[in-house]
Amino acid sequence: MAERQLVLDNGSGHIKIGFADWETPKSVPNLMCKDRRGRTCYISSQLYDAPDCSNLSYRRPFEKGYFVDPATECDIWKYVLGAELGLTTDDLRSTQLLLTAPYFTPRKLQREYNELVFEYFEFQELACVSPAFLTMVTHFARRRAVPCAEWPFAHAAPDAGPKGAKRKREEVKLEEAAPPVEPPPPVPTHHPCTCIVVDAGYSFSHVVPFVGGRAVKSAVKRVPMGSKVMVNHMKGILSFRQFDMTDEDWLVGTLLHKLCFVSTDFERDMRICSGHWTKNHIRARYMLPSGQPGSPPLGEVVADGIQLTAADQVLMLNSERFSVPELLFHPSDVGFPHMGLAEAVVASITTPDIHPDLRPLLLDNVVLAGGCSMFPGFEARMQAELTALCNDDLSQARCVRDADSHFSAFNGGCDVFRSGSYSALSVSRQQYNEGEGGKTLCRSRIWGDFP
């Protein structure tokens, strides 16, 4: 039976899943919901078939960016793998899985991942990496065309003996007593796989510097700002100014990504919004869902010149369109005691573990990824903020973003499979089932040197 190669970018907001030979993955919500009367339950993409999204309560398997509800995630994966991809249990037993997980995942949650993949779904092999790592891979594989032989992870996996053979007890004890220690970052400044990845997602954003293709984990910065915080902030603004939107998570999230943008000149745009409405090109109208048959379940943007009736419920969006995404750069403006994304980048590259000679090289390769990077103006604003924060010792920043940057992790997973490097990162189900030795192998190969 031919082995299938599956990439699963398990984001807090959406799951991006597909086979390694696909150009574009399927993107489905990573949630379950049901109407408040308790009659109907919707799993993942079934949400799009709900007649009234304003009457739903939501449940996500992620909390603060970490996987904390295996039972809910199990139901979601079961639906996505079966209904969306058409895979059976026998198919999964011959499928190699490349899964994403966030940095600093606690040991207990690591075991939950292993059990879900190997014991419940019985995948043939598992490799678990971070979305930032895969973004780095696809950046250098596609944009920079770096040969696979120069990737530091593209080497054969350590020989674990013939399949099915038990590890010796002495070897297991030695691995437990001396876990692999991450080597310090190299000082040479000309390695092709050196960049800093800004992964702005749903629950949080990560800033990860890579030197020679290896993450400098002591310099990784986590900023608890993402789409979830912005949705909650916009719900508060709209509920105070217009309609009660406190229970409309999905609708407000749709508004956020349809109409919001990142301002490149905040004060100028505020002056435009406070001026006469005839000169205000930022002002936008959004018709809320009516619940009538045939009407859009999530409403729609109302173009200029369209006449409305008295029965239409319309939201008027003005400065909210750019003041809400401003949280990504200046969260302290509304009381969040966190640094912005540009400040996090500078804080990351100026840590003692980053050699000073590497800092200009990292600033020249700032790779943007994640759903929040898709906001119009995000790339230009990030570059302007970094340039303003850089001192004389650092060169001018250069930010790059792919047109499908929310799929960067999936594209990187496909590149890992195409390069033949998957075996250097993976553990098979047969190895996992070798008792305590198999679980130690998972800790050392998958999580011990988590890229």
- Residue pair 432/155 in contact (Cβ under 8 Å)? The answer is no
Full 3-state SS string of 101-135: CCCCCCHHHHHHHHHHHHHHCCCCEEEEECHHHHH
Set out the domains of the chain in order of their start, with CATH numbers: 4-184+405-448 (3.30.420.40), 195-225+328-401 (3.30.420.40), 227-326 (3.90.640.10)
Residue 408, CA atoms < 13 Å, CB-side half-sphere = 32
- Residue pair 110/447 in contact (Cβ under 8 Å)? The answer is yes
What is the rounded CA–CA span in Å between residue 241 and residue 382?
30
pTM: 0.86
CA gyration radius, the chain: 23
Does the pLDDT value for residue 206 go beyond 70? yes
Q: How confident is the model at residue 164 (pLDDT cuts 50, 70, 90)?
A: very low
- Residue pair 445/157 in contact (Cβ under 8 Å)? The answer is yes
What is the rounded CA–CA span in Å between residue 8 and residue 251?
26
What is the rounded CA–CA span in Å between residue 56 and residue 135?
34
What is the rounded CA–CA span in Å between residue 332 and residue 334?
5
Element (H, E) at 342: helix 341-349
DSSP label at 206?
E
DSSP string, 352-413: TTS-GGGHHHHHT-EEEESGGGGSTTHHHHHHHHHHHH--TTSPPP-EEE-TTGGGHHHHHH
pLDDT in tens, 219-232: 999 999 999 999 99
User: How far from chain centre, in Å, is Cα 423?
Assistant: 24
- Residue pair 217/209 in contact (Cβ under 8 Å)? The answer is no
pLDDT in tens, 386-434: 988 886 656 678 899 988 889 999 999 999 998 888 888 888 999 888 8
Taking every pair of C-alpha atoms in the chain, what is the biggest distance, in angstroms?
Answer: 79
pLDDT in tens, 43-94: 999 988 887 777 788 899 998 889 889 999 999 999 999 999 999 999 999 9
pLDDT of residue 450: 65
Angle between helices 131-138 and 408-419 (to 10 degrees): 70
Question: Does 152 or 385 have the greater pLDDT score?
Answer: 385
Q: How far is CA 50 from CA 17, 21, 54, 56, in A?
A: 22, 32, 10, 9
Q: What is the mean pLDDT of residues 301-321?
A: 81
What is the rounded CA–CA span in Å between residue 138 and residue 79?
28
- Residue pair 201/370 in contact (Cβ under 8 Å)? The answer is yes
Let me know how long the chain is. Answer: 451
DSSP label at 395?
P
Q: How far is CA 72 from CA 67, 77, 78, 126, in A?
A: 10, 9, 10, 20
pLDDT of residue 447: 77
Tell me which residue of 346, 369, 339, 343 sits closest to 100, measured CA to CA.
369
